[in-house]
């Protein structure tokens, strides 16, 4: 995990190298936490599970169409379809400015949106 992917408030697994154990759900508290990871590689990502979606306040719905039945999770303007190998995220919010679209794209993909 790159330090540039981390923001204050992110949840990660904190690896205690001296004790050889993981601390799940460590919350990044400040910039020093990010710098510590940059020099020691102490964090690893937490896989997204249904429990995390529930903990964040997403509401689970079941959707059925011609292709079958799948799970749909809603929270504010975010909709997540499916969970597991195939996850699709939809945002139903108006984006008025180019820089906001670029920031959102980067946040979701880790890549810059260029023309």
- pLDDT tens per residue across span 97-109: 888 888 888 888 8
- pLDDT tens per residue across span 23-34: 667 888 888 888
How far, CA to CA in Å, does 40 sit from each of 16, 35, 63, 86? 11, 9, 44, 32
The alpha-helical segments, DSSP class H, found in 31-83 are 31-40, 50-55
What is the reported pTM? 0.71
Up-side HSE of residue 68: CA atoms within 13 Å toward CB? 4
């Amino acid at each position: 995990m790159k330090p540039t992917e981390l923001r204050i408030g992110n949840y990660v697994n904190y690896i205690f190298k001296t004790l050889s154990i993981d601390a799940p759900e460590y919350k990044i508290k400040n910039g020093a936490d990010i710098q510590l990871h940059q020099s020691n590689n102490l964090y690893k990502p937490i896989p997204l599970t249904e429990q995390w979606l529930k903990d964040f306040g997403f509401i689970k719905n079941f959707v059925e169409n011609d292709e079958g039945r799948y799970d749909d999770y809603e929270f504010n303007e975010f909709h997540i379809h499916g969970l597991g190998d195939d996850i699709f995220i939809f945002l139903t919010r108006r984006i008025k400015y180019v820089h906001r679209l670029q920031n959102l794209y980067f946040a979701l993909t880790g890549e810059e949106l260029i023309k």
